[in-house]
Amino acid sequence: MPDPLPLATVKRMLAEEAALRPLPREALLAQQHAELFARLTPEQTDKLIAELMAFPFVDRPLAIKIADMLPQYPEEIRLLFAKERMVLEEAQITQLLELVAQHK
């Protein structure tokens, strides 16, 4: 399975491809979704992902999810970590939220 890509990167890739040729319907829908929900530039996203991965409890796929979602509330962080079967301490959740807030 290929590594996931941040939404900001997908947005840039689809825009570059659209400049070269007409995109198929599925790609146009993906482009619309990326334009609507990607709130950071690819560079900002990459920086945030790198900073998130500095935490020992955050791997790359999870860092990408956090960077795409830009959670504002502890419940959103808990929801992302629920699939990881990991329970974070309040201090860890606060650290993540503070880091994300710096990048908005």
Domains in the chain, ordered, with CATH?
Answer: 7-37 (no CATH), 42-102 (1.10.150.80)
pLDDT attached to residue 33: 96
pLDDT attached to residue 88: 92
Q: Please classify residue 21 by burial: count the beta carbons closer than 10 Å to its beta carbon, then call 0-12 exposed, 13-18 middle and 19+ buried.
A: exposed
Residue for token pair 């560079």: 43
Q: Please classify residue 5 by burial: count the beta carbons closer than 10 Å to its beta carbon, then call 0-12 exposed, 13-18 middle and 19+ buried.
A: middle
pLDDT attached to residue 103: 93
80-101: pLDDT as tens digits = 999 888 889 999 999 999 999 9
Residue for token pair 């990048």: 103
- pTM score over 0.95: no
